[in-house]
Each structure stands twice: as C-alpha cells, then as structure tokens.
Structure 1
Amino acid sequence: MTATPAAGRVWFITGASRGLGRAFTEAALAAGDRVVAVARTLTTLEPLAAEHGDRLLALPLDVTDRAAVHTTVDTAVRHFGRLDIVVNNAGFLAMGMVEEFGEAEARAQMDTNFFGALWVSQAVLPTLRAQGSGHIVQISSIGALGGYPLTGLYSASKFALEGMSEALAAEAAAFGVKVTLVEPGGYWTDLYTTGLVATEPMDLYAPLRAELEKQFAESSIDSLPHLAAEAVMKLVDSDDPPLRLLLGSAVYDMAFDISRKRMDTWAAWEETSRAAERGVEAPEGYGAPAADGG
C-alpha cells in the first residue's frame, strides 16, 4: 500500500555529492522535499543549492568521524526542525584479494561502509524516536548476500551493515522508526573509478584476476542512477516498507540463486547439523565462579 507523500519531508543523505547519493538528492528535491546533503566535498552540490535555495542544506562531513557526525546531525535538526528520511549512502569499494589487504586498508573499508552508517544511525535515532516516526535507508549491496573474489572486504563491510541493521530495525520499530536495507546491483556511478581503491596485487593471483576481468566484461550490467532513485522514492512513500529491497533484475535473480544454494547445502548436511545438538542439564560446576587466582 502506498501513502500520499508528505510535503516537505526532510532527508539526510550521506555521500550526496555524486553517484547514487546525488541521484537520491535530486529526486527528493524534485518531489518538493527538503534535503540535508552531506559529503566530504561539496563543490558539485553548488548548482543544486543555487537552483533549490533554502530547501537544500549542504554540509561537509566525514562519516568516519563519530563526533562530527553527531554535530552535523544536530545542525541539520536545528536548521529544519526534524528528520524524516535518513539515507546512509556514503561508501567506497576496496578491491583486492583477501590476502592482499593490510590493516590500514581493511580498517578504512569498514570505517566508511560500516562504522559510518552506524554512527549516523546512532546520531539520528534520538530525533526520530522523539518524533515517533522516520525511515532509515541503508544502502547495502548484492555483495552483502555473498562474498566474491576481489570484493571480500567490501562484502564484509556490507555483511556487517546488514547484521547491525536487522537488529536496529527490531529495536527501533517500537518507536515508529522504520529501517530498510537497499541492495543495488551495478549503476553508472564513480564507484569503479574515483570511488575505488585497489590493493597491491600478488602475482600468484594473476590467473584468477584475468578470469574475473573476462567475466566482468561479459556479464556486467549497469544502469543509470535515476532508476535507483525512482525505486527509493517508491520505498519511502510506502506505508509498509520492506526490511530489504533488491534493485535490478540481475541482482534479483542472483539473490534467489544464492539463497537456494545455501538451502540445498543446509539440507545436504541436515543429519550432521541436527546431531550436533542435544539438550542436557548444565554440567556440574558449569558457570561457577573461578577459584582464587584462577
């Protein structure tokens, strides 16, 4: 069921200066809503600010800085008086084999894609809870449903985002706050150019890299970002939004294929799985305080 969109809703969109974030920003403004557009750099938002005036508030923000996130959210709430839709879109793709990642590279991927969304979610919750309404939209990925060569750390960040967001959805529901995980496929954004960093390749993975490059060239399907924005507008206009929303036919089919393969594997190992559980009373001494010095 779809509700009539409320006029003048307030959006808070991270990574709003380019790619999907820019498309979400433009769609929200076109609908007559107000937008707090946050990004590390704001120069590309200047034409939108000139066109839409006081309906667009552009603020600089590095989502990995938890204190800055809270300060920016406070500024947004003071400016517009409320928040209605929060889109955690900021992120980047770190590409490389799992073995190739150093600590700094791995932490940077998690800091933006997972912790950034966590900090924003925490910062907006008091406002949404006090209002008794709001919708947090987490931009995830088909990579959250399965790990693939070269995108293992990216998938790890999105797996973490999905686990946190499922719990958040259950915790926030009692306060009238909705949460949706949007799982897009490929779009013509800068994710694969300026939004991409790569590890130093190890020679032993060269054959696998060559095979993957061939697969990407033959099967990659990318769409224009405005199609994702149209889907998100339908999502936030719904009275009963889903916990998860797939974007794209290829992604839709892939998600079902991944799920079926997992179910087949679980079924094949059912006997072993069930045999690993046999409820008994707690063993004597289990959970007892440790002895002095223990």
Structure 2
Amino acid sequence: MSTKKVWFITGASKGLGLILTKKLLLEGYNVASTSRDKQSLINEIGEENENFLPIEMDLTNNQNVKQAIETTINYFGRIDVLVNNAGYSQIGTLEELSEAEVENNFKVNVFGSLNVIRNASPHLRKQKSGHIFNIASIGGYTGNFAGFGIYCSTKFAVAGFTEALAEELKPFGVHTTLVYPGYFRTNFLSQGSVKTPANPIDDYKTAREMEQAHLKEINGNQPNDPEKGAEVLITLSEQKHPPVHFFMGEDAYHYANLKIDTIQQALKENINLGTSTAFKN
C-alpha cells in the first residue's frame, strides 16, 4: 500500500486494543488510540509521532468523543477504520445489580460506542469510505450464562444497532462488521476490567459458580491468541466485501451453533401454536 489507512481504536491501553495498536504501527499504519488515561497509552506504546496519536477520551462524554474524533481528523486528515473496542464485564444476577451498576455498564459498552459512531459517521459519509468494527462478544449472541445477563444484554444491544448501522451506511460506501469474539487470553477477566456485584446474594449459587469459573479458571486459560485476533481484524479491514457478522474463535463458533440449534428446535416444536395468530379469511 502506498498510503496506509488511518485507524481509530477505543480502549487501546490494554488487551486486544493495545495489541492491535502495536501491530498496526509495526506494519506502518497510522493509528489514533484512545484511553481514559493518555499516559497509560504513552507508557505502553510511546510518545506521539507522525504515525501514532494517543488521545485521552471519556467514552461516556459525547462532547469529549467529538473532540477526539476532530483531533484525529485534524492530525491525520481522515479516519478509515474505526474500532469500538472499549468495554468491561459487569458480573451479577439481575436481582443483585443496582441501577447504577447496570447503567454504568450500558454507558460504556453501548452508549460509549454510539457516541463514537455518532461523531465519526459524518466524516465517513463525506469521504464515502470507511470501515467500522463493533466488538461485541459471543455473549452478544447467546446470553444463557447465569450472572452475566447485564453484560450480555449490552452486547446484544451492540449487535442490534450494528445490524441497522450496516444498512444505514451501506449507501455511502462504509462497511460495518459486528465481531463476536470468544474467550481471548487478555486481561479482560482481570481486576480493573471486570466488576463483581457490590451486594451479592448468597442464594444465587449457580451465578457464583459461573463467576468464580470465569475469574479463577477461565482467566489466564482462554483458548484464543489476541495476537492472531488482531491479525484477523487487519485482514478483514482489507477485504473488498467484509462480512457484517463475524464470529472469532472456535469457542465462538461452538456457542453460536448451540444457540442456532436451540432456536431451530424451538421453532420446530412450537410451529403450530406460533403461527396460529394470523387473521383468517
């Protein structure tokens, strides 16, 4: 490529966002990376230079996000690939979690991504090109994990608005890809990236077991390599006709197929009752 694309990545100070940023810079791309703490980006990646722009951004503040997008446009002249990667997992049953705990998870995982999309879309429409990656989770396709209902619901929301976004931006030559990652070996399940309920209820033994399995057994033993995940995203960004739906990881495929089988069985078992609601001539 004679001109490398400009990437804008949220949640880039750790995990997949950090690995993707480093890999892109090594390959000569231009990258604007955001975090709540700009110094954490500098510590991990380095000082601002002609290819790298670290930005401190509060994802939940629309005006702050708008300023970050404009700063990137002024610095690099454009944005070609946008990665809505920032997010965290709020563990807890629906009864346990307070209104504030639920709202905060939605503010970051859902409304934060919408703030980025809202402020980046005018530029992408104007240049009639671009690619938006919305990073959901396999938990945004199947939500039958006790204690993860709120987190999964935020990712279901991401899946829902991404399907609509793909149709809305298609006429402008802008691609949209909804990514459903499985478990990747990052710090996503570590302290600071995951939150447990402030007021747990002892009766929810299944939820506690699922919580502890994630924090103590799955954490550090995730089956997917984030380095390979970053490579996959770069490959997708270069495709002429990238997919709207992309499942990433053998485990993601496993859980997706289980959900599909469950839905197909439910449709089959209830077809007579389910289709009995039409007006009869």
Which string of whole-angstrom CA distances, capped at 9 and with x for unpartnered residues, describes residues 7-35 of structure 1? Answer: 32100000011101101111211221100
Q: 1:198 aligns with which of 196, 199, 218?
A: 196
SS class of match (2:16): helix
SS class of match (2:49): helix
Q: Is the 8 A contact 1:84 1:135 kept in 2?
A: yes
Residue 155 of structure 2 corresponds to: 158
The answer to whether 1:177 aligns with 2:174 is yes
Taking the TM superposition and a 5 Å limit, the aligned residue runs for 1:8-47 are: 8-46=4-42, 47=44
Q: Is the 8 A contact 2:147 2:207 kept in 1?
A: no
TM-score, length basis structure 2: 0.92
Q: Is the 8 A contact 1:110 1:157 kept in 2?
A: yes
Counterpart-to-counterpart distance in 1, 2:4 and 2:206: 53
SS class of match (1:187): coil
Q: Is the 8 A contact 2:6 2:78 kept in 1?
A: yes
Which string of whole-angstrom CA distances, capped at 9 and with x for unpartnered residues, describes residues 166-206 of structure 1? Answer: 00100100000110011111122221112011102101113
Q: Answer with 1 or 2: which has the greater Rg.
A: 1
Q: Is the 8 A contact 2:25 2:51 kept in 1?
A: yes
Q: Is the 8 A contact 1:139 1:181 kept in 2?
A: yes
2:205 aligned partner, one-letter code: A
Counterpart-to-counterpart distance in 1, 2:40 and 2:226: 16
Q: How many residues align?
A: 275
Counterpart-to-counterpart distance in 1, 2:17 and 2:112: 15
Counterpart-to-counterpart distance in 1, 2:4 and 2:15: 23
TM-score, length basis structure 1: 0.88
Counterpart-to-counterpart distance in 2, 1:127 and 1:250: 36
Residue 48 of structure 1 corresponds to: 45
Residue 285 of structure 1 corresponds to: none
SS class of match (1:98): coil
Taking the TM superposition and a 5 Å limit, the aligned residue runs for 1:216-255 are: 217=217, 221-255=222-256
Q: 1:186 aligns with which of 180, 183, 186?
A: 183
Unaligned runs of 5+ in 2: none
Residue 209 of structure 1 corresponds to: 208
- The CA deviation at 1:247 is 1.1
Q: Is the 8 A contact 1:61 1:69 kept in 2?
A: yes
Residue 117 of structure 2 corresponds to: 121
Q: Is the 8 A contact 1:7 1:32 kept in 2?
A: no
Residue 60 of structure 2 corresponds to: 64
Q: Is the 8 A contact 1:49 1:57 kept in 2?
A: no
Q: Is the 8 A contact 1:27 1:233 kept in 2?
A: no
1:257 aligned partner, one-letter code: L
